[in-house]
Amino acid sequence: MLRPRIIPCLLLSAGGLVKTRRFADPKYVGDPINAVRIFNEKAVDELIVLDIDATRQGRAPDRALIARMANECRMPLCYGGGIASEDEVDRIISLGVEKVSLSAAALADPSLIDRSARRVGTQSIVVTLDVRKTGLLGGQTVVTHNGTRKTGRKPLDVAVEMQTRGAGEIVINMVDRDGEMGGYDLDFVARMREAVTVPVTLLGGAGSLDDIAALIRQEGLVGAAAGSLFVFKGKYRAVLINYPNRDEKDALFSRAGFGG
């Protein structure tokens, strides 16, 4: 039986791994290849790697580093950052990456999703939406370029359009909860799951396995992604790559009331 996916998310900056808070104040947390090797040993469900500099700096992805990570990975790998054309999508997939994450480029030219899905299949196309509060009666908007540019578009509307164009998965990255470790926005993900039928993964806010259990209890088959939870340990946020073992995951699913 299918189970929800528990997914570490790693952020690349200047060739190293960092962790941010609300998309700011990046803290160096280690070497990406070493992190991939540790996650291999821990048998993670899937790995998301996002280059947070590429789009903002207007540069292409670091294909040499992506190839090294893909070669090391023994789990499905999703890469995002700096991908601006279907040709680049093709190149990243050819390196051994299972999924590509499109964000700013897809917002600027939604037909990129159509063209990319025709090239590599919908199962390999992920759209990541960075969502930030607008301050207007709980409103939310999609932002790009590391949270520095507002699109003025509502996340549910964008998600529906991207699904229609061929996105096989929607990743929601909650900017205001990034690195805060205060829990997921369960109300928002419920609305998103009602709006689209493709798999949804939520990122931003997980501070404990109980937060993941709460998300799974509410949504069932969902992707539970986290950054800080899997690179920090303890109240002083000491850097430690970690992930629940099989017994811990079984206990988590049991608390969530998820069978299988």
Give the model's pLDDT for residue 1: 63
Q: Both ends of the chain: CA-CA distance in Å? A: 6
Give the model's pLDDT for residue 136: 64
Q: How far, in Å, are 37, 39, 66, 98, 116 from residue 73 at the CA level?
A: 7, 8, 10, 11, 23
Task: Say how far apart CA 62 and CA 19 lie, in whole Å.
Answer: 19
Model-wide pTM > 0.85:
yes
Give the model's pLDDT for residue 236: 79
**Which of 51, 62, 130, 185 is flagged as catalytic?**
130
Query: In CATH, which superfamily holds the domain spanning 5-255?
Result: Aldolase class I (3.20.20.70)
- And the tokens for 43? 């048998």
Give the model's pLDDT for residue 39: 97
Give the model's pLDDT for residue 135: 75
Give the model's pLDDT for residue 235: 79
Q: Which residues of the chain have pLDDT under 50?
A: none
Q: How far, in Å, are 118, 190, 206, 222, 228 from residue 97 at the CA level?
A: 17, 29, 25, 21, 23
Task: Say how far apart CA 194 and CA 204 lie, in whole Å.
Answer: 20
Give the model's pLDDT for residue 145: 94
Mention every residue, 6+ apart, whose C-beta is less than 8 A from residue 131: 140, 141, 142, 143, 155, 172, 173, 174, 175, 188
Using CA atoms of 200, 176, 204, 102 in order, give the dihedral in degrees to the nearest 10.
Answer: 50
Give the model's pLDDT for residue 139: 87
Active site residue 210: no
Q: Give the helix ranges, DSSP H, for 153-245.
A: 155-165, 186-195, 209-219, 228-231
Mention every residue, 6+ apart, whose C-beta is less than 8 A from residue 119: 86, 89, 90
Mention every residue, 6+ apart, whose C-beta is less than 8 A from residue 23: 52, 130, 146, 147, 175, 178
